[in-house]
Chain A
Amino acid sequence: NAGVTQTPKFQVLKTGQSMTLQCAQDMNHEYMSWYRQDPGMGLRLIHYSVGAGITDQGEVPNGYNVSRSTTEDFPLRLLSAAPSQTSVYFCASSLTGQLYEQYFGPGTRLTVT
């Protein structure tokens, strides 16, 4: 099993550009989520999904969209990048949301200039 994979590992965007961060898992996990991590702020939940076709907002959803058309994939879209979105983005999955260990991808380091 590859676990949770994220692409790209690094990305530099200009303000106003859009892009999609990819996340995939091969563990048949129902629950997937996106976090951003900034110094001093810890992990903040952006969006999450409890299964294919179901998504919900987390703590900091503005400026981001998600969809979950398959169990395996959970892409995060930045609609119009802003410097405030410079961060490290982690995707995570677990068997179900609440009771089980979350597995994290290696992260995407995004810089918006």
Chain B
Amino acid sequence: RKEVEQDPGPFNVPEGATVAFNCTYSNSASQSFFWYRQDCRKEPKLLMSVYSSGNEDGRFTAQLNRASQYISLLIRDSKLSDSATYLCVVNGRDRDDKIIFGKGTRLHILP
């Protein structure tokens, strides 16, 4: 099993719809989790951290399922500006552990 896996997409979703995608990870000792957003030809930027209890930021909700070892991102009332690639990041337990990025899920919001 790869360390971090994401469905590459693309997800083509009409504006206003709800879309969700998951990211699975293999290291059960992983301690911290993030979702990043990357626009075309730009650097990745943090979208949100993922907390054990789940967290919400406006139209975005992130969840962590430790038992099944995946994190999820839900986008409600999607906007054209949400079109981007979404990368999940899984960090290890130790200070010197590598930070692992998923390959990303491409999202296209259709007008």
Interface residues of A (CB under 8 A from B): 33, 35, 40-43, 45, 48, 50, 56, 58-59, 90, 96-99, 101-102, 104-107
Contacts and interface: CB of A to CB of B under 8 A. Distances in A.
Contacts of B95: 50, 96-98
Chain B contact residues: over half helix, strand or loop, or mixed? loop
A43 B43 contact: no
Nearest to B34: A101
A43 B85 CA distance: 12
Given A42-B104, A104-B43, A98 B87 contact: no
Interface residues of B, number: 27
B57 interface: no
Contact of A101 (B46, B102, B103): B46
Contact of A99 (B45, B87, B91, B102): B91
Interface string B1-45: 000000010000000000000000000000110101000001111
A102 B33 CA distance: 12
B107 to A, nearest CB: 15
A11 B92 CA distance: 34
Given A33-B99, A45-B99, A98 B43 contact: no
A90 B45 CA distance: 12
Q: Which 3 A-B pairs have the closest CB atoms?
A: A42-B103, A104-B43, A43-B101
Contacts of A106: 42-43
Given A98-B32, A101-B34, A56 B96 contact: yes
Given A97-B91, A98-B31, A98-B32, A42 B98 contact: no
A59 B87 CA distance: 18
A104 B39 CA distance: 13
Given A90-B44, A97-B91, A99-B32, A42 B99 contact: no
Contacts of B104: 42
Interface string B79-105: 000000001010111111111111110
